[in-house]
Amino acid sequence: MPASLTALELFCGIGGFAAAAEAMNVKIVGALDQSPAALAVYRLNFSEHNSRQTDLEKITAAELAGFAADLWWLSPPCQPYSVRGHGLDLADPRARSLARLLEVFPQIPEKGLPRYLALENVAGFARSRARERLVDLLVSRKYEVRERLLCPTELGVPSRRPRYYLVASCCGLAPARPVVSCPHSLGSYLDPALSENPPPELLVPTEVVTRFGEGFRLLDPADPFAYTTCFTAGYGKSLMHAGSYLRCRNGERRFAPHEIARLLGFPETFRFPEELPLRKRWHLLGNSLSVVAVRDVLEELPGVNNGRRSSSSEI
């Protein structure tokens, strides 16, 4: 079956959008990122895609237009718009790549523009100057813009990861319709073997639990109502506010990377390079996307709409 749309991934990371696009019959014609580690994971799982290590702070209008993609998907760094990142917005050096895209977008001739543009970021992006500039640019180029906040828990996934999504179209958007989602238990995402016999690197030392345990979000795998909080890039390094922990037979443990990948919606075939350290795997997952949420957002595009829409909160 021919692809319904072609897409250019900007800030492609480890492939959250690519995993969603694969199930939506969207063809990736370019995947750009600045991180060699993220691209190594991406290429291992999506080797057929045209992925490149690119300094997005220096990208040109001609390079972007050259992909001739129907859709641009943007997942720029979230730290400039997060509380822990001090909310420096466009003044944050990590926002330079997005600022560059905003700078060159007006230089692209109409025939070189994508039909659709979509962006994902933390909820704080909704209050940012970057968002204001982006929306103004899109409106000036005659795009219809829709913004929303969406959390995987609304789609039945027991994991809180609220995110801001923007979808823009110059040829209409599919109407939003409610979806009936079936909640899944946390246990269905876990590896039973790890609860019985977790490796030492996943276990949290007893003295750490004694000292900081009251501040942990400690979950019982058998609890049908349990849900995780957002796993950040600091999981495995920061003890607090970086993600949830699990009770197991030998004490308390961290989530394994493949369990977090399941909660994000990556397929069972998703893998990391064997030489990639555990800490780096957590870091890359913390910077990735909810594949389930991205699929829901993609359904707003007429070219991939399959008749199921969500009722998440529009801004």
- Residue partners of 165: CB distance under 8 A and separation at least 6: 118, 119, 120, 147, 148, 149, 150, 293, 297
Asked whether the beta carbons of 161 and 296 are under 8 A apart, the reply is: no
- Asked if 107 and 18 sit in the same domain, the reply is yes
What is the extent of the structural domain holding 263? 186-286
Q: Are residues 52 and 172 in the same domain?
A: yes
**Whether residue 158 sits in one domain with residue 109:** yes
Same domain membership, residue 224 and residue 152: no
Tokens in use for 53?
């290590």
Q: pLDDT of 21-66, one tens digit each?
A: 998 889 999 999 999 999 999 999 999 999 999 999 999 999 999 9
The reply to whether 202 and 304 lie within a common domain is no
Q: Are residues 164 and 198 in the same domain?
A: no
Which CATH number covers residue 79?
A: 3.40.50.150
Shared domain for 164 and 305, answered yes or no, is yes
Same domain, 25 and 105: yes
| Whether residues 96 and 221 fall in one domain | no
Q: Could you tell me if 34 and 56 are in contact, meaning their C-beta atoms sit under 8 angstroms apart?
A: yes
Side-chain half-sphere CA neighbours of 183 within 13 A: 12
- 138 and 196 both lie in a single domain: no
- 94-117 residue pLDDT tens: 999 999 999 999 999 999 999 999
Indicate if 294 and 150 belong to the same structural domain: yes
What's the pLDDT band for 308 if we cut at 50, 70, 90? Answer: very low
How many structural domains are present in the chain?
2
Higher pLDDT, 239 or 229: 229
Same-domain pairing of 112 and 132: yes
E strand or H helix at 144:
strand 144-150
Residue 158 makes CB contacts below 8 A (sequence gap 6+) with: 183, 184, 185, 186, 189, 226, 227, 228, 263
- What is the helix (H) or strand (E) element at residue 28, kind and residue range? strand 26-33
